[in-house]
């Protein structure tokens, strides 16, 4: 249900003042994740995209000019067309963004550049970030909607201890996202002790600067993505951990990740073997996956899919080309559910998760919607 429709405020528990549109900025608006933010925000009922920011390379140009390469090609990476209303908007240098001019900032730049920018913004305004700059700090939650949105409460500690009016909430690495969505129902129902995961990651996950060179990836698989496996291992335990007062107690789980890049444009495929805390029949595991996240999707937030997980019994699915678009890229498609005879109480599955939608811009937008719902923005 949409804000403005009768019954919305009642069903979501939103107060009328929460229905006012918030002004938002996107930092890194010209990149792959940034472009997806423009799509996610184009017709958003709660957020009005008022500021586009990027590096000094893009600053001073219109958005369309900033995206246009020297040969005249528009470097637009989304399936959806560039929303016309943003094409003529000016792009500013992110360092010149006045945090007081907006109610919320979406940050979508590489981690090294994100650190000083987010450090300058978060004292004044809430920042929802796709970058890893703050992910591993004690008072910073890494939030996946439907999985651990209750960790958002940790921003109160950030504000108290850092003296900030705003805060920073990162979303995870885009490979971690699909993994924790599939593991969360297993953790809740049976416990999870060990995970062995191999990713087949899409090209768009590497962004555009510099991105993946066509000659390297065509007809090929690249068996290494710098820092990726460490991120997946660390983030998984934190996200699936419990909020205990003012801190997150990470889940006691051993995670072994192998991350590879494959010749797919969008949509990360993961094979996941999980050792459960107790023996569970496959039918019970399937039920847990199917039922997962209803209490979150029932909130009716604008970017939420009707289901967080779709379980397929087709042995040839999920496939990134077919399944990444499920519910506009917000649903993780899980298939090939089987017993694993190597890990104790083992089960195994394959999943596809859209890295630039749920894994980046639209997922971050959903986090921001939840923050509005909670009265934190
Ligand atoms: N791609 C994905 O699927 C995905 C998924 C989840 C998370 N992420 C994370 O999202 C972030 C952005 O990734 P991406 O794939 O969108 O990268 P990208 O395509 O390379 O875009 C980078 C963006 O950052 C801007 N930028 C670079 N240096 C800057 C600086 N010093 N100050 C301000 N802006 C600067 C660029 O602006 P110019 O155009 O002006 O250079 C561009 O807008 C990264 O932290 C990445 O790890 C990406």
Q: What is the pLDDT of residues 171-192, one digit of tens each?
A: 999 999 999 999 999 999 999 9
Residue nearest to atom 8 of ligand 1 (CA): 130
Find, among 127, 134, 175, 137, the residue nearest to 28 by Cα: 127
Q: What is the pLDDT of residues 333-354, one digit of tens each?
A: 999 999 999 999 999 999 999 9
Ligand 1 atom closest to the CA of 205, numbered from 1:
3
Residues near 210 by beta carbon (within 8 Å), at least 6 away in sequence: none
As a whole number of angstroms, the distance between CA 279 and CA 275 comes to: 9
pTM as predicted = 0.95
Does residue 6 have a pLDDT over 50? no
Q: What is the pLDDT of residues 111-160, one digit of tens each?
A: 999 999 999 999 999 999 999 999 999 999 999 999 999 999 999 999 99
Of the pLDDT bands very low, low, confident and very high (cuts 50, 70, 90), residue 213 is very high
Q: What is the pLDDT of residues 231-276, one digit of tens each?
A: 999 999 999 999 999 999 999 999 999 999 999 999 999 999 999 9
Q: How far is the CA of 111 from the centre of ligand 1 (A)?
A: 8
Ligand 1 interacting residues, C-beta cut-off 6 A: 28-34, 54-55, 57-58, 94, 108-111, 113, 130-131, 174, 204-205, 207-209, 355-356, 359-360
Does residue 16 have a pLDDT over 90? no
As a whole number of angstroms, the distance between CA 196 and CA 37 comes to: 32
Residues near 156 by beta carbon (within 8 Å), at least 6 away in sequence: none
pLDDT of res. 8: 42
Residues near 43 by beta carbon (within 8 Å), at least 6 away in sequence: none
Residue nearest to atom 40 of ligand 1 (CA): 55
pLDDT of res. 210: 85
Of the pLDDT bands very low, low, confident and very high (cuts 50, 70, 90), residue 20 is confident
Count Cβ neighbours within 10 Å for each residue of 117-153 and write b for 16 or more, e otherwise.
bbeebbbebbbbbbbbbbbeeebbbbbbbbbbbebbe
Q: What amino acid positions are annotated as catalytic residues?
A: 174, 268
According to DSSP, residue 83 is labeled P
As a whole number of angstroms, the distance between CA 292 and CA 313 comes to: 17
End-to-end CA distance of the chain: 20
Q: Which helix (H) or strand (E) holds 320?
A: helix 320-323
**DSSP secondary structure letters along 175-204:** HHHHHHHHHHHHHHHH-EEEEEEEEEE-GG
Q: What is the pLDDT of residues 62-102, one digit of tens each?
A: 999 999 999 999 999 999 999 999 999 999 999 999 999 99
Beta bridge partners of 47: 22
Q: How far is the CA of 107 from the centre of ligand 1 (A)?
A: 9
Q: What share of the chain has pLDDT > 70, as a percent?
A: 95
Q: How far is the CA of 114 from the centre of ligand 1 (A)?
A: 9
Q: 315 burial class (0-12, 13-18, 19+ CB within 10 angstroms)?
A: exposed
CA distances from 57 to 74, 80, 98, 208, 333 (A): 16, 25, 19, 14, 38
Of the pLDDT bands very low, low, confident and very high (cuts 50, 70, 90), residue 107 is very high
């Amino acid at each position: 249900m949409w804000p403005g429709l009768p019954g919305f405020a009642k069903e979501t528990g939103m107060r009328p003042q929460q229905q006012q549109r918030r002004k938002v900025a996107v930092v890194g608006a010209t990149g792959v994740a940034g472009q997806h933010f423009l799509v996610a925000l184009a017709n958003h009922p709660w957020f009005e995209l008022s500021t586009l920011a990027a590096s000094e390379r893009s600053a001073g140009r219109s958005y369309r000019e900033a995206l246009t390469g020297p040969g005249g090609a528009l470097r637009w990476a989304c399936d959806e067309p560039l929303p016309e209303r943003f094409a003529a908007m000016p792009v500013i240098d992110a360092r010149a963004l006045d945090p007081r001019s907006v109610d919320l900032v979406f940050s979508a730049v590489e981690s090294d550049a994100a650190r000083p920018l987010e450090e300058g913004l978060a004292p004044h305004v809430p920042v929802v970030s796709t970058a890893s700059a703050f992910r591993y700090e004690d008072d910073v939650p890494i939030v996946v909607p439907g999985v651990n949105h209750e960790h958002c409460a940790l921003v109160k500690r950030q504000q108290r201890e850092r003296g900030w009016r705003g805060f920073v909430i990162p979303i995870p690495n885009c490979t971690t996202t699909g993994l924790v969505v599939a593991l969360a129902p297993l953790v809740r129902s049976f416990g999870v002790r060990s995970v062995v995961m191999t990713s087949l990651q899409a090209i768009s996950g590497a962004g555009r600067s510099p991105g993946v060179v066509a000659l390297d990836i065509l007809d090929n698989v690249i068996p290494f993505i710098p820092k990726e496996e460490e991120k997946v291992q660390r983030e998984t335990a934190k996200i699936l951990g419990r909020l205990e007062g003012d801190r997150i107690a990470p889940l006691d789980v051993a995670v072994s990740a192998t991350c590879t890049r494959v010749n797919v444009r969008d949509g990360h495929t993961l094979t996941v073997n999980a050792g459960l805390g107790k023996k569970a029949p496959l039918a019970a595991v399937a039920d847990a996956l199917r039922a997962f996240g209803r209490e979150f999707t029932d909130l009716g937030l604008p970017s939420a899919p009707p289901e967080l997980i779709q379980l397929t019994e087709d042995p040839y699915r999920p496939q990134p080309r077919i399944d990444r678009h499920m519910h506009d890229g917000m649903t993780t498609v899980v298939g090939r559910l089987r017993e694993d005879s190597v890990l104790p109480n083992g089960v195994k599955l394959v999943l596809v998760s859209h890295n630039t939608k749920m894994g980046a811009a639209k997922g971050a937008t959903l986090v921001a919607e939840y923050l509005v719902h909670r009265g934190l923005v």
